[in-house]
Structure 1
Amino acid sequence: MAAVVPCLVLAGIGWWLWPQQPASGPPHIAAGTVEADLLSPDSVSRVAGTTVVAGAQSNRPHAPLTVSPSACAVAAGPTTQSVYGQAWTAFVSAAYKDAGATGAYTVNQVIGVFPDSKRAEAAFSTLTEGLNACSSSTRTDQAGRTAKWTYRAQPAGQAALTWTAAQGGSANWACSHQARVSGTSLVQVAVCQAGDGLPAASKLAGKLARKVSR
């Protein structure tokens, strides 16, 4: 499994590319902020069936990724500006990792708040169209290492968009994603593990969407 972890950045998932918050202690979370809407590590652990702890966090989407083919920028970077653009009014991305820090299990939550529901739905449409336009992509890091990922999206419903990003050469390891529009927000959850992470991703995305819509 150790060989899989360095390739996560190549995958363009997004959250490993952002600056991390200082790890000196738990950050103060103000009520009413997007950070307060995130599911807690304990809540995620109960759904995941394994203990996770808080990792990197960001308050802005990363710049669009450079991938081959270029039409795969959305599929490779679903949490980047390729989807969320510049019109959001609040944003948070938080990565949780397995307690052993092995990289064998990670969960990411993203909340992007827009001025109105139409812009949130437009971002959802951008994500849907981007996934439909790409079946696989390749990214190359600064050291010249490449990683190929394949994407398989389920037909988008009114409530959610579900898809899987599978890393080439990594046995059964993949990232299972679900995105939902909740009011003026586009929320996403990704569960990366060896095996089927879709049930956990779907359940967590539903819990996150309900929390955001309160």
Structure 2
Amino acid sequence: MLRHWPLLVAALLPCLVLAGIGWWVWPQQPTGRAPHVAAGTVQAQLLGADSVSRLAGTTVVAGPQSDRPHAPLDVAPSECAVAAGPTTEAVYGQAWKAFLSATYQDSAGTGGYTVNQVFGVFPEAEKAGAAFRTLTEGLAKCPSATVAGQAGRSSKWVYTARPSTEVAVAWTAAQEGSAGWACYHQAWVKGTSLVQVSVCQAGDGEATSWKVADELTKKVTG
């Protein structure tokens, strides 16, 4: 098994963006210009690497951040754009006033374990609620999808959503033929914010996603 581990890692790395966490395709904030995210808001609500490590029971380090949602993914069928890219413009649109996506990954830097936190702050609660409904309705209409990747590669994902409430939804995105690789998602709408957490690993990350989600929700103020 250990002899095949490098091959498994190489197969999984291109798939991370397809799960919606987007830490490769989302550009990092370039230097020389002010960030789009309002200073002192969403950044202050982010859980640090030490906190996430404690909740996950493994050491993670800070990875890329983005100050805007990525464009919708290339997916078939097209109505699965939300399920395939829950943190993209397919859900958050362009009406947000502040946005932050931050990814932590395993300390070895292999991409074999990632935790993603996403904040989208809207001008008013109604718009945050509309984005949340877009998310839940998109999940409901897409049990599986094929997502186009880099270098012409594609992958098939199966989406399993839990019953949603008016303010929260949880779901799993599992990649077919990938030795158990899956992303465990949580999303809530709170005030003017739509917040998401995902834990991606080759194993069961649901418990960790709940722990991170619970801790993060306590910090969201708007």
Kept in 2: contact 1:11–1:148 (CA 8 A): no
Aligned ranges 1:26-175 → 2 under 5 Å:
32-175=40-183
- In the superposition, the TM-score normalised over structure 2's length comes to 0.88
Aligned equivalent of 1:204, options 176, 198, 212: 212
Cα RMSD, aligned residues only? 1.9
Task: Give 3-state SS (helix, strand or coil) of 1:125's partner.
Answer: helix
- Cα distance change, pair 152–47 in 1 and its aligned pair in 2 (3 A): same
Q: Percent identity?
A: 67
Rounded to whole Å, the distance in 1 between the matches of 2:114 and 2:103 is: 7
Partner of 1:5: 13
List gaps (5 residues or longer) in structure 2: 1-7, 32-36
Residues 112 and 186 of structure 1 are in contact (CA less than 8 Å); yes or no, is this contact kept in structure 2? yes
1:110 Cα shift? 0.2
| In 2: Cα distance, 1:162 partner to 1:128 partner | 9
Deviation of 1:158 after TM superposition, in Å, equals: 3.3
CA distance in 2 between counterparts of 1:128 and 1:69 reads 17
- Unaligned stretches of 5+ residues in structure 1: 24-28
| Contact 2:38–2:98 (Cα < 8 Å) also in 1 | no
Q: CA–CA distance in 2 between the matches of 1:35 and 1:166?
A: 29
Structure having the larger proportion of residues in helix = 2
- Equivalent residue of 2:112, what SS? coil
Residue 168 (structure 1) shift: 1.1
Q: Bigger shift: 142-151 or 162-171?
A: 142-151
**What is the CA distance between 1:102 and its match in structure 2?**
1.5
Number of residue-to-residue matches in the alignment = 209
Whole-angstrom distance in 2 between the partners of 1:71 and 1:189: 22
User: Could you tell me how far 1:142 is from its partner in structure 2?
Assistant: 4.4
Where in structure 1 do 4 or more consecutive aligned residues deviate above 6 Å?
none
Between 129-138 and 199-208, the greater mean CA deviation after superposition:
199-208
d(CA) in 2 for partners of 1:135, 1:142: 23
1:133-173 superposed Cα distances (whole Å, 9 cap, x missing partner): 10111122342211111100000023420000001111211
Q: TM-score, normalised by structure 1?
A: 0.91
